[in-house]
């Protein structure tokens, strides 16, 4: 049986850019382990190979100090000939990558469980000063009991550093890397948060936010372009999901959430605004195009739209009915005008040319009217003839007969003004839903200062069109006020912030360690902290000398604490 170090190799579990992973047994204690080999021997540069070997041992040893249920434990690191290996905890379950490759996407509960556990494990590592740097579905494992475990701590840092520097070889995938990693800037836990946001985006939409056929294209998009809104790919998601993922995917790490746990809590609250949300299978929008008509021509659209529209909750069709009614009124008005013009009798006193239609008024046509006889005398003319003597007219020379009698001019018909159609009355103003989501959830939302209209977030109000005010309060957080203009269904996402103050800590002598409420901080005196408002006990110590003092941090305050160390 083949061995690596003291471990007995049983089966091959998988292959990756860094090497091969085996299932093996430690014969000393009978424990099953996963052995990951590292291909350092394939590096042609001996200096670089030696440097990476030192880093690998150092990073693996650092990862070995992590003791958390959500992190795969590193047992051993060593070399066997030209093979460098790491022995780690064996997890009897699939990776998230395998889960996402299935025909059916994970359900709501599975998605939230995976994200919550991953975020908690990452925050634990970040507090220990360790950044994973290569969070992706292949490095997230799901045990048989549902426990999520992150693997490749320590190895990931080596992998990430070589992705952009080793000629002719890309280790791992760049789709999950943060902008600061690509640009070679210092990274902290927010780089892992960016990668976790990419994983969340992919789990919900079935697509990676940054894609391209060339490596340079993907890297450029991560650094310079915004991803498509998740709701555009999966309409079952709400607008609040776009906002949460947009913040976690911010190019500037300072604009992301303080911790991974806060990010996932905000994402869960945003998802809860749409009770019927459902994830889409991986690649469905790229592989199954459907058709839609756009401005008179047929275009392709991703099948994700068709699938998501089938899953999305049915919306009311009242506006469709109103639109059809307005169109019908318009058609009736046109028919009425036409009938008035061409079919109704002309008003009294108008000629036949007014009602005969356009053809009757064309000169030279067969329908042109003949000369009209002189109108009969009015009734007043005979009375005048009885009372006044008629004078004998003088003889007049006969007028020459005209060659052809010209008919009297046809009088121009009077233009009949068609009656104006009355415009349809606008539909009565309808109330629209206003959905309110907060991070964290559970806040009290009051609409228009009316205490009778209060709900606990995430929740929804029915409001009339116009401007409204919203006040949101939650114990331990600042009160938030919003002015909302409602013209259609609207979703409002509010990120609550804790009241904070600034505390400057100095000591004599300087360089002392600092404990806040018994927790050791990485900083030493003198330094400045931004802390949530509240009461704290600060302890500073150096060379066996220490000092302790209680302090209260108020919202927006700037306090200074100068401690004299006593033996």
Q: Does residue 367 have a pLDDT over 60?
A: no
Q: How far apart are CA 440 and CA 565, in angstroms?
A: 40
Encoded tokens for 547: 């000092």
Q: What is the pLDDT of residues 445-493, one digit of tens each?
A: 999 989 999 999 989 999 998 889 899 999 888 888 888 888 888 888 8
pLDDT for position 482 = 87
123, 134, 192, 242: the active-site residue: 134
Q: How far apart are CA 194 and CA 473, in angstroms?
A: 29
Lowest-pLDDT range, 124-133, 298-307, 335-344, 387-396?
Answer: 298-307
Other C-beta atoms closer than 10 Å to the C-beta of 248 total 25
pLDDT for position 474 = 92
pLDDT for position 267 = 95
Q: Does residue 115 have a pLDDT over 90?
A: yes
Q: What is the pLDDT of residues 324-353, one digit of tens each?
A: 566 666 655 555 555 455 444 444 444 433
Q: Does residue 556 have a pLDDT over 80?
A: no
pLDDT for position 209 = 96
Burial class (CB in 10 A: 0-12, 13-18, 19+), 8: middle
Q: How far apart are CA 423 and CA 506, in angstroms?
A: 76
Encoded tokens for 393: 């007219």
Lowest-pLDDT range, 190-194, 265-269, 337-341, 552-556?
Answer: 337-341
pLDDT for position 303 = 46
The whole-angstrom distance between residue 93's C-alpha and the CA centroid of its chain comes to 31
Provide the pLDDT confidence category of residue 541 given band limits of 50, 70 and 90.
Answer: very high
Domains 96-284 and 500-564 share a fold: no
Encoded tokens for 364: 């030279």
Cβ(49)–Cβ(61) below 8 Å: no
Taking CB atoms within 8 Å and a gap of at least 24, the contacts of 206-215 are 206/105, 206/233, 206/234, 206/279, 206/280, 206/281, 206/282, 206/283, 206/284, 206/285, 206/304, 207/233, 207/282, 207/283, 207/285, 207/286, 207/304, 208/175, 209/249, 210/175, 211/175, 215/170, 215/174
Q: How far apart are CA 380 and CA 542, in angstroms?
A: 132
Cβ(304)–Cβ(205) below 8 Å: yes
CATH classification for the domain delimited by 432-495, as one of 2.60.40.1120, 2.40.50.140, 3.30.450.150, 3.90.1150.10:
2.60.40.1120
Q: Does residue 150 have a pLDDT over 90?
A: yes
Residue 552 DSSP SS3: strand
Q: Does residue 558 have a pLDDT over 70?
A: yes
Boundaries of every domain in the chain: 3-89, 96-284, 432-495, 500-564
Provide the pLDDT confidence category of residue 198 given band limits of 50, 70 and 90.
Answer: very high
Whether 134 is catalytic: yes
Cβ(134)–Cβ(152) below 8 Å: yes
Provide the pLDDT confidence category of residue 298 given band limits of 50, 70 and 90.
Answer: very low
Q: How far apart are CA 41 and CA 19, in angstroms?
A: 11
Residue 551 DSSP SS3: strand
Q: What is the pLDDT of residues 228-242, one digit of tens each?
A: 999 999 999 988 999
pLDDT (average), residues 311-323: 48
Q: What is the pLDDT of residues 47-68, one digit of tens each?
A: 767 777 776 776 677 667 788 8
Average pLDDT, the chain: 77
pLDDT (average), residues 398-416: 54
Other C-beta atoms closer than 10 Å to the C-beta of 498 total 14
pLDDT (average), residues 95-114: 93
In terms of average pLDDT, the best of 114-123, 138-147, 409-418 is 114-123
pLDDT for position 347 = 46
Q: Which CATH class is domain 500-564?
A: mainly beta
pLDDT for position 62 = 66
pLDDT (average), residues 278-287: 76
pLDDT for position 244 = 94
What percentage of the chain carries pLDDT values higher than 90?
A: 34
Cβ(553)–Cβ(534) below 8 Å: yes
pLDDT for position 402 = 52
Q: How far apart are CA 427 and CA 486, in angstroms?
A: 17
pLDDT for position 100 = 94
Report whether CATH 2.40.110.10 matches the domain 96-284: no
Provide the pLDDT confidence category of residue 283 given band limits of 50, 70 and 90.
Answer: confident
Evaluate if pTM is beyond 0.75.
no
Q: Does residue 361 have a pLDDT over 90?
A: no
Report whether CATH 3.30.200.20 matches the domain 3-89: yes
pLDDT for position 19 = 73
CB within 8 A of 282, min separation 6: which ones? Answer: 100, 101, 105, 202, 206, 207
Encoded tokens for 488: 């259609």
Q: Does residue 371 have a pLDDT over 60?
A: no
pLDDT for position 408 = 57
Residue with tokens 């607008």: 239
């Amino acid at each position: 049986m083949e061995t690596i170090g003291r471990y007995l190799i049983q089966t091959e579990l998988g292959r990756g850019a860094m090497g091969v992973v085996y299932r093996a047994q430690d014969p000393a204690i009978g424990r099953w382990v996963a052995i990951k080999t590292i291909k350092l021997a394939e590096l042609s540069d001996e200096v670089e190979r030696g440097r990476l070997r030192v880093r690998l041992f150092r990073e693996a040893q650092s990862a070995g100090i992590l003791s958390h249920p959500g992190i795969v434990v590193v047992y051993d690191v060593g070399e066997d000939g030209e093979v460098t290996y790491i022995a780690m905890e064996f997890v009897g379950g699939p990776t998230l990558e395998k889960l996402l490759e299935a025909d059916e996407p994970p359900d709501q509960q599975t998605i939230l469980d995976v994200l919550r556990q991953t975020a908690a494990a990452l925050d634990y590592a970040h507090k220990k000063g360790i950044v994973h740097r290569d969070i992706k579905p292949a490095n997230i494992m799901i045990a048989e009991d549902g426990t999520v475990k992150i693997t490749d701590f320590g190895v990931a840092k080596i992998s990430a550093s070589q992705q952009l520097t080793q000629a002719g070889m890309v280790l791992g995938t760049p789709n999950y890397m943060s902008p600061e990693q690509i640009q070679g800037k210092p990274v902290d836990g927010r780089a892992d948060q960016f990668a976790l946001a990419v994983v969340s985006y992919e789990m919900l939409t079935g697509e990676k936010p940054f894609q391209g056929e060339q490596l340079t294209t993907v890297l450029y998009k991560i650094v310079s372009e915004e991803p498509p809104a998740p709701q555009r790919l999966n309409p079952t998601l709400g607008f609040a999901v776009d906002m949460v993922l947009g913040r976690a995917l911010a190019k500037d790490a300072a604009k992301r959430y303080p911790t991974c746990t806060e990010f996932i809590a905000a994402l869960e609250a945003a998802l809860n605004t749409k009770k019927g949300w459902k994830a889409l299978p991986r690649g469905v929008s790229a592989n199954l195009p459907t058709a839609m008509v756009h401005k008179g021509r047929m275009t392709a659209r991703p099948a994700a739209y068709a699938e998501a529209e089938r899953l999305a909750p049915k919306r009311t069709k009242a506006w469709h009915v109103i639109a059809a009614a307005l169109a019908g009124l318009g058609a009736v008005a046109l028919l009425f005008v036409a009938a008035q013009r061409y079919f109704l009798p002309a008003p009294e006193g108008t000629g036949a040319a007014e009602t005969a239609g356009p053809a009757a008024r064309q000169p030279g046509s067969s329908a042109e009217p003949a000369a009209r006889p002189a109108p009969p005398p009015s009734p007043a003319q005979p009375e005048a003839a009885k009372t006044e003597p008629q004078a004998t007219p003088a003889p007049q020379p006969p007028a020459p007969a005209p060659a052809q009698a010209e008919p009297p001019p046809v009088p121009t018909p009077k233009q009949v003004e068609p009656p104006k159609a009355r415009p349809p009355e606008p539909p009565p103003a309808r109330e629209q839903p206003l959905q309110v989501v907060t991070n964290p959830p559970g806040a009290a939302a009051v609409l228009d200062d009316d205490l009778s209209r209060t709900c606990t977030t995430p929740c929804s109000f029915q409001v009339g069109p116009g401007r409204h005010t919203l006040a949101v309060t939650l114990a331990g957080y600042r009160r938030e006020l919003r002015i909302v203009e409602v013209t259609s269904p609207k979703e409002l996402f509010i990120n609550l912030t804790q009241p904070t103050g600034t505390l400057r800590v100095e000591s004599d002598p300087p360089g002392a360690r600092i404990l806040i409420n018994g927790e050791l901080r990485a900083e030493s005196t003198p330094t400045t902290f931004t802390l949530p408002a509240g009461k704290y006990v600060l302890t500073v110590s150096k060379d066996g000398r220490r000092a302790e003092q209680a302090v209260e941090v108020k919202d927006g305050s700037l306090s200074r604490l100068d401690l004299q160390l006593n033996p």
